[in-house]
Amino acid sequence: MQLNLFPTDVHLRCIDEANNKRRFYVLSVQPTLFGDWVLVREWGRIGRSGRRRHDHYQSAGSALDALQELARQKCRRGYKASRAV
Tens-place pLDDT, residues 22-44: 999 999 999 999 999 999 999 99
Q: Specify the CATH number for the domain of residue 60.
A: 2.20.140.10
3-state secondary structure 21-41: EEEEEEEEEEECCCCCEEEEE
Q: Is the pTM of this model over 0.85?
A: no
Domain of residue 34, residue span: 9-81
Does any domain span residue 45?
yes
Does any domain span residue 50?
yes
Task: Please state the domain count of the chain.
Answer: 1
Does any domain span residue 27?
yes
Radius of gyration for the alpha carbons in the chain, expressed in angstroms and rounded:
14
Does any domain span residue 68?
yes
Does any domain span residue 61?
yes
Question: Residue 67 has what pLDDT?
Answer: 95
